[in-house]
A and B are shown apart, each in its own frame.
Chain A
Amino acid sequence: MKILIIEDEQSLRESIEEYFKGTGNICETASDYSTALEKINLYRYDCILLDITLPGGNGINLLKNLKENNHSDGILIISARNSLDDRLEGLDLGADDYLVKPFHLSELRSRITAITRRKTFNGNGSNVLTINEISIDLTGKEVKIKNQDVKLTPKEYALLLYFIANKGKVVSKNAIAEHLWGDGVDITDDFNFIYAHIKNIRKKLMEAGGKDYIRAAYGMGYKFTG
């Protein structure tokens, strides 16, 4: 995957770059409007992370520029302002998704994976994701292991996809809770119910003959090892 990170906050930009690097991804960065404009006009990316507030210009204009030139790069807007106007404007102009700061890197990755998957699916028509013996039909939301159906609840399915998108990374419980119940939901009690979901997924995958992919990581999160 080739990703362009347009973000003026150095620290955040480096975090994102660090998180995406190393698993076959190529990351490029731009910290201001003119650099970003130059890059989007010179190169093509699988996904562009676009911060709206940039020194030297508005990120929305970059989005317009991309669309005017009929570039089909996936675009994920990341903004500090949880404003519905921004969100609607961005999506209306053709952005693929919108993520509000602060976010978990695992959430960002899950969104980007979804965008790029959608792009490739539109290209060739096959929409089945295969991880070793597990195959997931993203359209029908069905999971199979060696042609045997694995019945997952909607939340378990969402969680499995989330893990797969963040394969090899430790995903914190907080990130999982936010992904499953939304960030508007103020649950700060113990995340016991996450454990129950994880346990179910592992059980169901193993019963269908899959390997045990999900491991707990020091009590603070889980990791999908593929």
Chain B
Amino acid sequence: MKLLARYNRVTLMTTVIIMLLTGIAYYQAISWTFTRQKDKDLTDEETEIYEYVNLNHRLPEIFETEHQQVSFTKINIGPVKRVFVDTTYFKIWGKNNPKRQQFHAIGGYEPARGLITSVIIGHQYYKASIIHSKVETEDLIQIIFSITIGVILLLLIILFATNRFILNRLWKPFYNLMQELDLFNITDKNIIPKIDTSIDEFKRLNNSVANMSNKAKRDYQTLKTFTENAAHELNTPIAIINSKLDLLIQTENFSEWQGKLLTELYGGVLRLNRLNQSLLLLVKIENQLMDEHQHINLHELIEGMIIQFDDIYNDKGLKLTYKLDKKEIFASRYLMEILLSNLIINAIRHNYTGGEIIISLTAENFIIQNTGNDEPLNKEEIFIRFHKSSGSEGSGLGLTISRQICENFNFLLDYRFHSPYHAFIVTFPNQV
């Protein structure tokens, strides 16, 4: 749920509730005031009746004005309790009142306020009821209530509209910033830009985010430089070990056992070297230092590699079939060679003796399939640095490098398993 929607919901609900409460309070207050007013009128009327009775010692004429009915009833017991009541008032409509036609009646009931009291003439008690119609006050209250409802509705509409328009505009810097964050990539050079806003909170957010991203980039850069330097520094000792081993084997008086040890030493140095070269290569690709792009006939390159490796897969008794369409790409030849040889060597290494490799190249993609362990690989893990399948003698960086190379050229490297084939698919971008 959007903040704006939630904010709208809360403000609108509170507004409506407050307006309704106000309306009710308003109604109660007006209603109470009018009732008091009516009661006062009724008391005045009562006083008039008393004065008349005191003066004339008889009941006044029963009269009925527009909104007032006074009636007297003889009662035999003592005086009735003086009380104000809410009652109804039977209003007789005028002869020409259209309501007569409409309701087929001579009048209708209207809400009223009455005062029941008693008068005494001699020893005779009379119950006097004075009734005043409240229809005018009711009308007034109704008008007030309608106005209140109208104002509520108007307010709702205005609130809704302003919230929508103003807040959308108000939050725009925030959304812009979010977009920048989505695009943020620690490896590239783009920084989070200053966002044009006069709102302090957003300025602060912008600053914090910019600082954080700069710091992350700086740290990442430091780490990368460290890796690069470390790998470079490692080159020299590896070169020394390598050359000393080359010299050592020239001395020639070795037992089989010593020969085996030396072979293993060579193997270790080789792996160390590969690992180091891979790290250097990764740093270089990430730094985009391989910019010397050229047009490459991919089918020729692949064909050349298949010939290059023919002794290796033949040695393992692998059956290699391939179908290559013509395809030219614009990329670094060096990196493409690494990518392809990584994938082909993987297909050979993780195969079983007498297995199969199928290579296909179309305008859309390059697919290499190989038989091997009949279990799908974990797609999430295989591209992670130093992830190795058990028994693999590789550096654990081959697929990481492959993926990095693909990203560098906007290719997509994907893995699928269709028993019995493990397939690595390089999808080319739409090159016009």
Contact = CB atoms under 8 A, between A and B. Distances in A.
Interface of A: 9, 11-12, 15-16, 18-19, 80-84, 88, 101-106, 155, 169-170, 172-175, 181-189, 192-193, 196-197, 217-221
A11 B337 contact: no
Interface string B248-269: 0110101110111011001101
25 contacts: A9-B239, A9-B240, A11-B240, A12-B239, A19-B243, A19-B250, A101-B235, A101-B239, A104-B242, A155-B311, A170-B250, A173-B263, A173-B266, A174-B266, A181-B312, A184-B277, A186-B274, A186-B398, A187-B312, A187-B349, A193-B314, A197-B311, A219-B256, A219-B260, A220-B260
Given A16-B243, A218-B259, A220-B249, A84 B290 contact: yes
Interface stretch (B180-188, B338-346, B372-380): B338-346
Contacts of A104: 242-243, 246
B249 A12 contact: no
B93 interface: no
B406 to A, nearest CB: 17
Interface of B: 232, 235-236, 238-247, 249-250, 252, 254-256, 258-260, 262-263, 266-267, 269-271, 273-274, 277-278, 280, 289-290, 292, 308-309, 311-312, 314-315, 334, 337-338, 341-342, 345, 349, 393-395, 398
Nearest to B312: A193
Contacts of B292: 84, 88
B248 to A, nearest CB: 9
A219 B264 CA distance: 11
Given A80-B236, A219-B259, 5 more contacts: A12-B243, A181-B309, A193-B314, A220-B249, A220-B266
A175 B239 contact: no
A197 B269 CA distance: 24
Given A11-B240, A184-B337, A189 B349 contact: yes
B408 to A, nearest CB: 14
Given A84-B334, A217-B252, A188 B266 contact: no
Contacts of B242: 102-104
A103 B274 CA distance: 12
B266 A184 contact: no
A221 B252 CA distance: 11
A165 to B, nearest CB: 14
A104 B280 CA distance: 19
